[in-house]
């Protein structure tokens, strides 16, 4: 993932760069904790905010990608909708 940040084309895609930074930050925060089961409430709240930030950025990127697929690659969009991670009732089978 760090190689992605080295790509100069990402400067044109600030929202993707924001996603990468959010995920890197969350990864670092989690890696520095010795025992996630024994954190004080304030730390859980802090990590919750970090997780929310990364998840929001990821969701926005996924939505942008779905828009792109729907417009330019409808067959890939169809598969993506049938395996939609946000739809608990999604099914790979075409109905």
Q: Tell me: pLDDT of 31 over 90.
A: yes
Classify residue 89: in a domain, yes or no: no
Whether 93 is covered by a domain: the verdict is: no
Q: How far apart are CA 20 and CA 57, in angstroms?
A: 9
- What is the torsional sign of CA 28, 19, 38, 46? positive
The domain of 11 spans 2-82
Asked whether residue 59 is assigned to any structural domain, the reply reads: yes
Assess if residue 54 is contained within a domain: yes
Cα radius of gyration (the chain): 17
Number of independent structural domains in the chain: 1
| pLDDT category of residue 16 using cuts at 50, 70 and 90 | confident
Q: Is residue 65 part of a domain?
A: yes
Q: Is residue 91 part of a domain?
A: no
CA angle (45, 49, 50) in 5-degree steps: 120
The model carries a pTM of 0.78
- 90 is a domain residue: no
Q: 13 pLDDT band (50/70/90 cuts)?
A: low
- In a domain, residue 7? The reply is yes
Under 8 Å between Cβ of 45 and 14: no
Under the banding of pLDDT at 50, 70 and 90, the label for residue 95 is confident
Residue 46 has pLDDT above 80, yes or no: yes
């Amino acid at each position: 993932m760090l190689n992605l940040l080295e790509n100069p084309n990402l400067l044109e895609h600030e929202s993707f760069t924001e996603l990468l930074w959010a995920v890197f930050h969350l990864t670092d925060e989690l890696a520095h904790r010795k025992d996630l089961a024994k954190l004080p409430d304030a730390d859980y709240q802090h990590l919750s905010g970090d997780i929310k930030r990364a998840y929001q950025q990821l969701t926005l990127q996924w939505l942008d990608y779905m828009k792109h697929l729907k417009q330019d690659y409808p067959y890939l969009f169809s598969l993506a909708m049938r395996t939609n991670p946000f739809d608990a009732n999604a099914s790979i089978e075409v109905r």
